[in-house]
Amino acid sequence: MVANPETKWGRTHQADARLAAVAATSQRNTRDVIAGFGQAADSVVSALRTLRERDLQIESPSRNPRWGVKPMSFMLDHLIVSHLRGHRDQIMRNLSQFSSQTAELKT
């Protein structure tokens, strides 16, 4: 968004890369997924460190028609912070349910 504000950002639910990743989940192992989280976090931190306050005001169009044109601050808050928080909560729910089911099997 900073380098090319006219370029669309984001993706739709029908994006080829997203659908391919979802289809390939059974082929991934837990260690690689966890390592990927760390690598992604490092990349995000590196990119965020390059931003200046004025960069957060730059507006760009989204590929998803529901968002329209939004500033970088929206993209960061909604599509990175809130989105990742939702996935974290989903993982925690899954782990909790798995732990509960495992405990029931042991009794």
Q: Mean pLDDT per 10-residue run, the chain (107 residues)?
A: 91 87 88 90 92 96 92 92 91 88 68
- pLDDT value at position 105? 67
Joined together, the tokens standing for residue 92 give: 């925690």
| pTM of the predicted model as reported, rounded to 2 decimal places | 0.69
Q: Which sequence spans correspond to the domains of the chain?
A: 16-106
DSSP state letter for 55: G
DSSP-based three-state secondary structure for 6: coil
- pLDDT value at position 35? 92
The answer to whether residues 38 and 91 touch, using CB atoms and an 8 Å cutoff, is no
- pLDDT value at position 37? 87
